[in-house]
């Protein structure tokens, strides 16, 4: 039986999309010509939605529409269409703080659960190009208690409180499934059977991931993107845009930064599965690690700068810190906050690395390695680093310590992992 959907909803297709867009004067003007001139291609390669690129004589647009189920699985896994509403709300709110770091929105259709937005060109998905880091601290800072009055933040939180199903995907797929036997799990077998069993039987690891899950459930620090991997970033050499905010909710800031770091580290280790004598990857791998370091340093610097210059939220009220001694104490507090964020970030990064190897949804960086022994070696190195980071986050004082640990692991063969 087909899934029930609200009146007015229908999945768009190549045939119906031009008629829908022709009803939107601003979009039709942007495309130019007549609806019959517009070329439509469905290009969605994500796990959940339909994504269309539409090209007209005057220009292009991108249309993203929710399906009532998880695309990668099918109708057996229903999923609320409202995720598009949350994505649209998040784009609006983040847009106030990050401007051109997200695509421009031309139209939101609440009945079709579709967003018509800027077609990003010549941008490519960062995972495919691995181009550059991302400037994301602004939206985290400006949607937090450090910058917002309590009532405003609570109103915004209320908007995103309903995004429960998408949060549940994360709660299950990232913080639970890899640590239990579950039919959704898959990994490179038989090579990783042993380490998968070891992780399921590792009390310290299960405690550490459970603490992270508790933070994910309860730390409403900022309006986070919620799925900020390198497939959610489109870039050229001079422009970076964040897409796909449907997992947005009020959560821990370290989750977003950790997601980026995790995906960079997955890419770092995966390069050994793609390197050939004619195409060595060592210097590229060094560049990836430099990017990890820069990402964290730029994030921390920017975040601290924003707090010093714009800390007008209800937390740490400025009037309490007017004298020199109080100001010095507040600066110490800021540094401590960023240190705590760093530890959070490492834990979330680790959880994200583990889920991409032992859980349901994979990354092409590793999946694209055809030789299974070679892939498993790369994956084992990722898993060993991730376990170390998750259980021992407190032992890492700097991001350079993390990149050094990654370099060390890359030297180890399968017998020592």
> Where on the chain is the footprint of ligand SR1 (CB under 6 A)?
46-48, 70, 169-170, 173, 227, 361
Q: Tell me how many residues contact Mg ion (CB under 5 A).
A: 3
Least distance from ligand SR1 to the Cβ atom of residue 308, Å: 34
Q: Which is nearer to ligand SR1, 175 or 299 (CB)?
A: 175
Least distance from Mg ion to the Cβ atom of residue 209, Å: 22
87 binding Mg ion? (CB under 5 A): no
Cα–Cα distance for residue pair 322/191, rounded to 1 Å: 60
Question: Which of Mg ion, ligand SR1, none does 391 bind, CB closer than 5 to 8 A by kind?
Answer: none
Length of the chain: 417
Least distance from ligand SR1 to the Cβ atom of residue 46, Å: 6
Question: Which of Mg ion, ligand SR1, none does 361 bind, CB closer than 5 to 8 A by kind?
Answer: ligand SR1
Question: Which of Mg ion, ligand SR1, none does 363 bind, CB closer than 5 to 8 A by kind?
Answer: none
Q: Which is nearer to ligand SR1, 54 or 67 (CB)?
A: 67
Question: Which of Mg ion, ligand SR1, none does 173 bind, CB closer than 5 to 8 A by kind?
Answer: ligand SR1
Q: Which stretch binds Mg ion (CB under 5 A): 16-24, 61-69, 219-227, 380-388?
A: 219-227
- CA angle, residues 146, 148, 151, in degrees to nearest 5: 130
Cα–Cα distance for residue pair 388/396, rounded to 1 Å: 10
Cα–Cα distance for residue pair 224/240, rounded to 1 Å: 18
- The H or E element containing residue 15 is none
Cα–Cα distance for residue pair 209/199, rounded to 1 Å: 11
Least distance from ligand SR1 to the Cβ atom of residue 225, Å: 11
Q: Reduced to 3 states, what is the DSSP secondary structure of residue 328?
A: helix
Cα–Cα distance for residue pair 302/136, rounded to 1 Å: 9
244 binding Mg ion? (CB under 5 A): yes
Q: Which is nearer to ligand SR1, 21 or 91 (CB)?
A: 91
Question: Which of Mg ion, ligand SR1, none does 21 bind, CB closer than 5 to 8 A by kind?
Answer: none
Q: Which is nearer to ligand SR1, 118 or 177 (CB)?
A: 177
Least distance from ligand SR1 to the Cβ atom of residue 335, Å: 32
User: Alpha helix (H) ranges present in 161-281?
Assistant: 164-175, 193-200, 203-218, 253-274
| Residue the block writes with tokens 């106030």 | 96
Q: Which is nearer to Mg ion, 227 or 388 (CB)?
A: 227
Cα–Cα distance for residue pair 131/146, rounded to 1 Å: 31
Nearest C-alpha neighbor of 28 from the set 65, 66, 57, 50: 57
Nearest C-alpha neighbor of 311 from the set 298, 321, 323: 321
388 binding Mg ion? (CB under 5 A): no
Question: Which of Mg ion, ligand SR1, none does 70 bind, CB closer than 5 to 8 A by kind?
Answer: ligand SR1
Cα–Cα distance for residue pair 114/171, rounded to 1 Å: 26
Pattern 34-53, binding to Mg ion, x per CB under 5 A?
A: ------------x-------
Nearest C-alpha neighbor of 64 from the set 79, 49, 82: 49
Q: Which is nearer to Mg ion, 44 or 110 (CB)?
A: 44
Q: Which stretch binds Mg ion (CB under 5 A): 88-96, 224-232, 250-258, 359-367?
A: 224-232
What are the C-alpha distances in Å from 334 to residues 86, 87, 306, 313, 318?
Answer: 31, 30, 11, 14, 13
Cα end-to-end span (Å), the chain: 48
Least distance from ligand SR1 to the Cβ atom of residue 380, Å: 22
Least distance from ligand SR1 to the Cβ atom of residue 170, Å: 6
Question: Which of ligand SR1, Mg ion, none does 169 bind, CB closer than 5 to 8 A by kind?
Answer: ligand SR1
Q: Which is nearer to ligand SR1, 78 or 162 (CB)?
A: 78
Q: Which residue is nearest to ligand SR1 (CB)?
A: 47
Least distance from Mg ion to the Cβ atom of residue 63, Å: 16
User: Alpha helix (H) ranges present in 219-316?
Assistant: 253-274, 282-310
Encode 312-344: b = buried (16+ Cβ within 10 Å), e = exposed. ebeebeeeebeeeeeeeebeeebeebbeebbbb
Q: Which is nearer to ligand SR1, 167 or 288 (CB)?
A: 167
Which residues lie across from 114 on neighbouring strands?
65, 109
Q: Which residues contact Mg ion by CB under 5 A?
A: 46, 227, 244
């Amino acid at each position: 039986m087909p899934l029930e959907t609200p009146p007015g909803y229908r999945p768009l297709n190549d045939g119906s999309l031009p008629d829908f867009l022709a009803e939107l004067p601003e979009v039709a003007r942007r495309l130019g010509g007549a609806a019959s001139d517009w070329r439509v291609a469905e290009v969605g390669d994500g796990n959940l939605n339909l994504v269309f690129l539409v090209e007209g004589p005057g220009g292009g647009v991108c249309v993203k529409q929710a399906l009532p189920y998880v695309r990668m699985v099918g109708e057996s896994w229903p999923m609320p269409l409202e995720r598009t509403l949350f994505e649209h709300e998040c784009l609006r709110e983040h847009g106030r703080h990050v401007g051109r770091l997200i695509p421009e929105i031309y139209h939101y259709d609440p009945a079709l659960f579709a967003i018509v937005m800027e077609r990003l060109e010549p941008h490519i998905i960062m995972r495919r190009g691995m181009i550059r880091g991302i400037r994301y601290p602004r939206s985290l800072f400006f949607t937090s208690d450090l910058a917002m009055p309590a009532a405003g933040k609570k109103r915004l939180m209320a908007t995103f409180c309903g995004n429960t199903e998408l949060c549940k995907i994360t709660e299950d797929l990232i913080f639970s499934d890899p640590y239990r036997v579950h039919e959704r799990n898959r990994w490179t077998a038989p090579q990783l059977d042993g380490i998968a069993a070891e992780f399921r039987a590792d009390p310290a690891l299960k405690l550490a991931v459970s603490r992270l899950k508790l933070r994910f459930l309860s730390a409403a620090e900022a309006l986070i993107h919620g799925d900020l991997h390198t497939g959610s970033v489109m870039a050229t050499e001079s422009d970076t845009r964040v897409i796909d905010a449907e997992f947005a909710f009020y959560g821990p800031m370290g989750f977003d930064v950790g997601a980026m770091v995790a995906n960079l580290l997955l890419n770092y280790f995966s390069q050994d599965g793609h390197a050939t004598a004619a195409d060595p990857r060592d210097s590229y791998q060094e560049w990836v690690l430099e990017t990890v370091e820069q990402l964290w340093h730029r994030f921390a610097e920017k975040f601290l700068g924003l707090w010093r210059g714009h800390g007008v939220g209800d937390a740490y009220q400025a009037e309490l810190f007017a004298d020199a001694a109080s100001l010095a104490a507040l600066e110490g507090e800021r540094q401590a906050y960023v240190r705590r964020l760093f530890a959070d970030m490492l834990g979330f990064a680790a959880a994200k690395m583990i889920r991409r190897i032992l859980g349901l949804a994979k990354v092409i960086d590793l999946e694209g390695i055809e030789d299974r022994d070679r892939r498993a070696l790369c994956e084992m190195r990722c898993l060993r680093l991730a376990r170390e980071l998750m259980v021992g986050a407190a032992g890492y004082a700097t991001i350079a310590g993390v990149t050094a640990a990654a370099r060390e692991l890359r030297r180890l063969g399968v017998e020592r992992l």
